[in-house]
Amino acid sequence: MDLVTGATGFIGAQLVRHLLESGQKVRILVRSPQKAEAVFGTLCESLDVAEGDLGDAASLARAAAGVERVYHLASRINFQGSLKRMRAINVEGTRRLLDACVAAGVKRVVHMSSIAAGGPAVMDENGRYRARTEEDEPAPLPDAYGITKLEQERLALSYRDRGLEVVAVRPSAVFGPGDPDGMNTLIWMVKTGRLPFYLGSAQTVANLVFVKDVVRGTVAAMERGRSGEIYNLVGPNLTQEQLIGLLAHVSGGRSPRWGMPVPVLIGAARLVTAGARLTFRRRSLVHPNQIRNWTAPWIVSDDKARRELGLVPTDTAAAFRETLQWLQAYKAGQAEAGAAREA
């Protein structure tokens, strides 16, 4: 049996469906069985639903019992979170899960990390950027998310010393059917002509990956990945101009005509963040860390995943089309539901 944590999330839900379609027996760790029912519907009848979370060691022990393989996707993604709170979930929660795996005799774990753990492109001795590989010394951006994802990744891989086979995968920014938010927000903004400017230079490189490629790569890492190794699950390295231009072409939308300088964006984000604090809001609409992440040069190599996992990314234009079809259907459904409530 396979255990999936983070099963009701964007990637997790698609991974669970893929495993079920492949004939695997799947147990999911969820904080709320009601949410599992909302996400999976009648598929819940084919799932073993274990209620618990990364903060509850007893629930993790129950979830790991009788399991051979674990896909660990549960994590907190928050570029505004404090280091202490992020460590409590991403690092200490992972420690509890892996302790439970060791005690239960689990054989193999695939840990979902992030390219945030490795950091942006590497600058060579000539001051030019090159693609970051899995073998480069990690250099995450100085925010709680990147720092704790690296700590979490290193912790997971250290459990090889306790008898677990552990493989780590690092997806880039994920888009695709199934998520009305996240990177899909950018896709919809371009389609509707509401992206006013590039964030920083139009020549800054960004890396997006199709959710179905992340699922395929994660399963391939479980089946063929070498224990102790890290694999980047990424799409093509495209400048913002190339990426958004392709998206505009596919969607019939519009690309921005100019870029907002990074210092201006960070200054505005600081003001918005200060305003949120003054009004006692827990989260700001935008935070300087989010600006730094988007405007960093995310040039990442997928050579290792291609070579060892056999992963070939989906054509980006085709992935955008599939995502847009889902978003259009989702938006139409939301509009119909809203009209029905008002009637």
Counted domains in the chain: 1
Which whole number is the average pLDDT over 279-303?
81
| 80 token code pair | 């505004």
pLDDT in tens, 231-259: 999 999 999 999 999 999 999 999 999 88
pLDDT in tens, 200-211: 899 999 999 999
For residue 285, being part of any structural domain is answered with no
**Greatest extent of the chain over all pairs of C-alpha atoms, in Å:** 65
For residue 229, being part of any structural domain is answered with yes
CATH of the domain at 108: 3.40.50.720
Residues in the chain: 343
CA 180 to chain CA centroid, Å, is: 14
For residue 188, being part of any structural domain is answered with yes
| CA–CA separation, 228 and 233 (whole Å) | 16
pTM of the model: 0.93
Beta carbons of 175 and 324 less than 8 angstroms apart: no
For residue 343, being part of any structural domain is answered with no
The torsion angle over the Cα atoms of residues 201, 289, 238 and 114, rounded to 10 degrees, is 170
What's the domain range around 213?
Answer: 2-254+291-332
Over 80: is that where the pLDDT of 278 sits? no
Over 90: is that where the pLDDT of 25 sits? yes
| 56 token code pair | 């509850």
For residue 279, being part of any structural domain is answered with no
For residue 313, being part of any structural domain is answered with yes
Over 70: is that where the pLDDT of 277 sits? no
Beta carbons of 28 and 47 less than 8 angstroms apart: yes
Beta carbons of 59 and 123 less than 8 angstroms apart: no
Residue 282: band (very low, low, confident or very high) from pLDDT cuts 50, 70, 90: low
For residue 230, being part of any structural domain is answered with yes
For residue 265, being part of any structural domain is answered with no
Beta carbons of 28 and 50 less than 8 angstroms apart: yes
What residues contact 83, with CB distance under 8 A and at least 6 apart? 144, 147, 148
**Cα end-to-end distance, the chain, whole Å:** 47
Residue 284: band (very low, low, confident or very high) from pLDDT cuts 50, 70, 90: low
